[in-house]
Structures are given as structure tokens and as C-alpha cells.
Amino acid sequence: MIIHAFRLKPGDDIKIKLDNYVKRKKIKAGVILSAVGNIGKATIRLANENIIKSYEDEWGFEIVSITGTISTSKNHLHISFSDKDGLTYGGHLKKGCIVRITAEIIIGEIPQLEFQREYDSETGFDELVVNKI
């Protein structure tokens, strides 16, 4: 496993920065090992594919976790974050999760694999296909 570690800065969009990093580093198969930090805005898609929710708070939200699979083909990421009262929210990470203070991201790249997404008629979604290189 190859480890990638970097920090996002205030104003960075987490999804855009992750997508760009994966493409720039040509990561064909990877996982988020750790992600912590603080966001001022959050945009997530809930389990129902048509529901997008946005949150914003002047104090921001603590990133509890970001988890998922990444590849040059497509990333599948979830985020959990908590507000100042400790209430936690989560869903599919969408564009619009904006770093307020910092976000520390650690990625594990798996060089012997390639992740792809293919439509699965049974689920109705593009699902993970794992190929050995």
C-alpha cells in the first residue's frame, strides 16, 4: 500500500480537491484511511438518490469521518460531520463541502488493483468492480 497524506485549506471544496488529487496522482484503486477537520458548509446526498441537503454554520462542523473508495474512474465517498451540539449528519459526499479551518486527508493506494464502476441492473446504480492489475 502506498500512503498519500495532505491537508486542505480554508475555502477548499473537499470533493473537488479529492477528485483532482486522485486524477493527478493516477490512483486506480484507493481508500480513505483517515479524514478529520472542520467544514463551514456541507452538502450531502441522502440514501434516497434525489434528496440533497445542505448545511451551513458560522462555527462550522467537525468532520467525524470520510470513508469510501477512490479511483481515476469514479469516487464513492460518504462523510459524517457533527455540529456544535454534537448532532451528527451524514451521507454521500457532494460538491459543496467547504473547508472552514483545515481538513487532513490520508489515502491508501492499492497498486495491484483497479477500481471501476459499472451499471448493475439489479441495484440500478453504478457498482464497484475490482480488477487485479
What's the CATH code, domain 2-132?
3.30.1330.80
The pTM for the full model equals 0.93
Note the pLDDT tens digit of each residue in 27-39: 999 999 999 999 9
Note the pLDDT tens digit of each residue in 73-87: 999 999 999 999 999
Q: Enter the C-alpha cell of residue 77.
A: 465517498
* Residue 125 · residue 117 · CB < 8 Å: no
d(CA 118, CA 85) in angstroms, rounded, equals 40
* Residue 22 · residue 75 · CB < 8 Å: yes
